[in-house]
Amino acid sequence: MNCIPEDDAHTEECIKGINPCYPPAPDDDTPIPPFSEDDLDPGELEPGELDKFAPQAQTDDDDDEDTEEDNTAPKPEPVTTSSVIVMDVKEFRAALELAVTEKKATIPVLTAVCLEPHGSSLHVISTDLDKSTITEVPAMIDDGTGRILLPHRKTLELLKGETGILRLTASITTRGDTFSHAWVKLEVGGLEYDVPSMNPAHFPVLPEVPKSAFTIPGADLKAVIGRVMVCISQEASRYTLNGAQFEADKNKLLIVGTDGHRLALDSIPVRRIPKGKALIPRDALAWLYKQATGDVDVTLGEDTSYFRVVDAHTTFITRNVKGQFPNYQAITPRKESLTMVASFPSADELAKTLTKVARMADERSGAVKFAINGACVLSASSSDIGKASATVKAVITHSDEMPEIVTGFNSGYVLDALKVAGKSPVVLSLKDNQSAGVITVPSIPDYSYILMPMRM
């Protein structure tokens, strides 16, 4: 340990240990004496001052006070409520098949359906936060719990193939205002299933949508969606093309879909239709195409972010796609600008010939050449596999300025349009070699299919 010596001699003695400024350090085995108040400088700390810093022992009186405080807040007793619902298992399963729930358990409550009693009917409610359904099922209900949550896909699996009456008994246990646990018993076909449930308070609240604006036949809506949906893009990066544009104006509902290479539009006549516009996502259109039946009430307005369709038993709500849909009118050729028209007596026959010629087309582009000059000749070639050509029966009309047009189209895109026509006649109208072609079906007067050309 260093010191501040008074003179050099003292330093030398200190170093030799003759007269050290500090006592020598004890050996490793020598015990260190305890610190006491005698070691303190009286000027630094008063005797007994260290007692202030010593830990205080807890007394019995303090223990009694803590015990009294714990006893003043008794825990609430558990309370269990029950509901019994009796219904036809096929009707209930049909409602479950209409439900839209999350496949991944990212948010567990979104994998469940919510059962909500309403008098003599049960509302089966589902949502994935983008789409929602409410389906009514006739039932005999003894309601004691209110809402009940049921795992969607597991319940569908349990009820598969079952017939007859389903008895559903739900039990929810709470402690005060706190949810504890819940179970649902399913009794059907001599079997009993006990299924765990979740807190119904966690189920999302469905959006409020204005009342329906107009009514259209569900079959017409389904048919138009089927004709347009083939053109909707499936690329996630082009989100504004991942849906169809619904426009309500001039006594018709116009539906348009495009992926940037082709465009399909069709319409449904509607009386007294209010003006509105919405971009409906592809998965919502797929649901409507599969499920829409009978007359449906449609809510479509620019003052809401949701699109709603209601039929006899089910309400379907979807969130609209946000974004600007392309200006399809700018790329749609005007009728007076078309200089050549090829009328084919059977779309089915054209499709068969096109399919055979396309076998020799380039695998990546699938391009087929259309050469129209008094007749329509289809041809395709590939440097790897060869070439093919065929003449198709058609009635050709053209202007004097454009006696011949040679252009190319993606064979798969053309075949998609021909499927819409079936065996009916189909018409291909062209402006020139480099402009878009228009495919129409005389039996479907409001349907048009615009196809961008390919370089050959």
User: What's the confidence (pLDDT) of residue 21?
Assistant: 57
**Cβ within 8 Å of residue 295, ≥6 positions away:** 215, 216, 217, 218, 311
CA 193 – CA 89 distance, rounded (Å): 14
Q: Which residue has the tokens 């399913």?
A: 186
Q: Using DSSP, state whether 101 is helix, strand or coil.
A: coil
* 341 within 8 A of 429, measured Cβ to Cβ: yes
Neighbours of 305 (CB within 10 A): 12
**CATH superfamily entry for domain 214-328:** DNA Polymerase III, subunit A, domain 2 (3.10.150.10)
Residue 443 identity (one-letter amino acid): S
- Sign of the CA dihedral with 26 first, then 32, 33, and 39 last: positive
Q: Which residue has the tokens 């003006």?
A: 275
Helices assigned H by DSSP within 369-440:
411-421
Residue 307 identity (one-letter amino acid): F
User: What's the confidence (pLDDT) of residue 279?
Assistant: 93
**Cβ within 8 Å of residue 286, ≥6 positions away:** 229
User: What's the confidence (pLDDT) of residue 250?
Assistant: 80
**Cβ within 8 Å of residue 68, ≥6 positions away:** none
User: What's the confidence (pLDDT) of residue 104?
Assistant: 83
Closest CA to 121 of 360, 281, 276, 315: 315
User: What's the confidence (pLDDT) of residue 1?
Assistant: 47
pLDDT per residue of the chain (456 residues) written in tens, 0 to 9 = 455 555 555 555 555 555 555 555 555 555 555 555 555 455 555 555 555 555 555 555 555 555 555 556 677 888 899 999 999 999 999 999 999 999 887 899 999 999 999 989 999 999 999 999 999 999 999 988 889 999 999 999 999 999 999 999 999 999 888 888 899 999 999 999 999 999 999 999 998 887 777 889 999 999 999 999 999 998 878 888 999 999 987 889 999 999 999 999 999 999 878 888 889 999 999 999 988 878 888 888 666 788 999 988 999 999 998 888 999 888 888 888 888 999 999 999 999 999 999 999 988 889 999 999 888 999 999 888 899 999 999 999 988 777 889 999 999 999 999 999 999 999 999 999 989 999 999 999 999 999 999 987
Q: Give 225's Cβ-side CA count (13 Å radius).
A: 20
Domains 78-202 and 333-451 share a fold: yes
User: What's the confidence (pLDDT) of residue 64?
Assistant: 54
| CATH fold group of domain 78-202 | DNA Polymerase III; Chain A, domain 2 (3.10.150)
* Residue 96 DSSP code: H
- Sign of the CA dihedral with 351 first, then 356, 362, and 368 last: negative
DSSP assignment of 155-223, as one string? Answer: HHHHTTT--SEEEEEEEEEEETTEEEEEEEEEEETTEEEEEE---GGGSPPPPP-PPP-EEEEHHHHHH
CA 437 – CA 408 distance, rounded (Å): 10
- Per-domain boundaries in the chain: 78-202, 214-328, 333-451
Neighbours of 236 (CB within 10 A): 7
Q: Which residue has the tokens 């389904």?
A: 222
Does the reported pTM lie above 0.85?
no
Q: What angle do CA 218, 297, 302 make, to 5 degrees?
A: 115
Angstrom CA distances, 86 to 49, 75, 161, stand at: 80, 36, 18
The class that CATH gives domain 333-451 is alpha beta
